[in-house]
Structure 1
């Protein structure tokens, strides 16, 4: 297998998702180029506006690290013969179906034009923590379950409309939240670091593991990578917590037929 090239057109949630993906793949001997196009809070509507203006506003993040390079979506799409191109809705709009259209159709058609050989996927984002102070949590009545159910419906509808597979990160996050040591409502650890972005170790690992299972069809339970990050220096990784995450990732990615 040659180098596998993965492009995410997203925001801070795809930044979380791609942080460990290159390293997880490397642990199984797979060479990857993982690029995230980053604008904080960027919605599907804004992505499409940026395409129309050919705006060079996206920070180019490579293999989980930021760079000083800024590009347009067109530049990034034309840079490589991508194997996978993945996008998502901004978290605050994730459960509001009407915010997806017509922008997601336009965006994915544009991806097809610029990268016709790439497999297009949709990244299902996740609900905020139960006590999140995010300004837009009020849209979901400050209710995690309500936000989760609404985003599930919106992403499922969009994936069906586009005819693409979905990476079920939101489903995995919600499942892991029912397991110790991540039962936050009972005093356990939150998967979020600030009420909505993922924990630098466990949350980001969960997302990358989910992408890995779906994209590569490999069993994360057999992958021995232990996350290391400069954002949580000195924190000892709980291997039992990682095992819980891996088991949930593997179960969700397989039982719901998300593998490509």
Structure 2
């Protein structure tokens, strides 16, 4: 059974909303916990870790629990197979904002759950013209995307883990449906984009293709065509980044 903990923010919430349901639709057992503080940076996570602050809203299997926990409480609450870290989106293209916080967080995770596999989930660019670009050094997608890709590659090398290419998947969907990929210019839409990230994570965790699953419990309407698009974007993003996906799975 996979047990995955995201130490994250709203982008982690986007990635995990449907992961439990997709895994169950593929007849896999999974537990998904997401620690949420809106816009939380690695520096903020680090400060919460050092202060053992119970500041995180706790989501389990994509649903709010109403509980607030600390990073330590979450890490010790179960035998996690996987733990996910990420930078907040406005800072994600600036490598200097990752350290020394990422290494300290990774070391702390390893100390408390030494057998867990750690991952870095790449954050994604905003839609072109989104006002959020004003919070970054970048004028638009053409500048932000390569900067985010480079920063995550360097950060992953620092702690010896792989990046999960959510950036690439979001770019692929954006190339097809444009701004509709987002609900507000920077968060995933509530249907196909969130589903795409769930598919991405399912294939990372299990190495199996997500195709032909019966999941349909979306928060908004998702057409059969958009569901297939989401699966294709997730699959291609992984195979293009060296992940093995068993098409017979």
1:53-132 equivalences under 5 Å are: 53-132=51-130
Q: Distance in 2 between matches of 1:138 and 1:95?
A: 8
Say whether 1:243 aligns with 2:238. Answer: no
1:100-179 equivalences under 5 Å are: 100-134=98-132, 136-141=134-139, 143-179=140-176
Quote how far apart the aligned CAs of 1:74 are. 0.3
Change in Cα spacing, 1:93 to 1:259, as seen in structure 2 (3 Å) is farther
Which runs of 5 or more structure 2 residues have no equivalent in the other structure?
none
Q: Which of 210, 215, 222 does residue 212 from structure 2 map onto? A: 222
Say whether 1:205 aligns with 2:205. Answer: no
Q: Which of 179, 183, 186 does residue 196 from structure 1 map onto? A: 186
Aligned length: 245
Say whether 1:41 aligns with 2:36. Answer: no
Corresponding residue number in structure 2 for 1:183: 178
Q: Distance in 2 between matches of 1:62 and 1:119?
A: 19
Contact 1:201/1:227 (CA < 8 Å) preserved in 2? no
Contact 1:168/1:258 (CA < 8 Å) preserved in 2? no
**Residues 122-161 of structure 1 deviation map (CA, whole Å, 9 limit, x = unaligned):** 00010001121226445211x0121111100000111111
In the superposition, the TM-score normalised over structure 1's length comes to: 0.90
Q: Distance in 2 between matches of 1:238 and 1:127?
A: 25
**Residues 93-113 of structure 1 deviation map (CA, whole Å, 9 limit, x = unaligned):** 000110000000000011000
Q: Distance in 2 between matches of 1:28 and 1:74?
A: 31
Q: Distance in 2 between matches of 1:217 and 1:52?
A: 35
Contact 1:128/1:137 (CA < 8 Å) preserved in 2? no
Contact 1:165/1:258 (CA < 8 Å) preserved in 2? no
Quote how far apart the aligned CAs of 1:259 are. 4.6
Quote how far apart the aligned CAs of 1:88 are. 0.2
Change in Cα spacing, 1:110 to 1:136, as seen in structure 2 (3 Å) is farther
Q: Distance in 1 between matches of 2:115 and 2:102?
A: 19
The Cα RMSD (Å) is: 1.4
Q: Secondary structure at the match of 2:234?
A: helix
Contact 1:11/1:90 (CA < 8 Å) preserved in 2? yes
In the superposition, the TM-score normalised over structure 2's length comes to: 0.94
Q: Distance in 1 between matches of 2:206 and 2:214?
A: 16
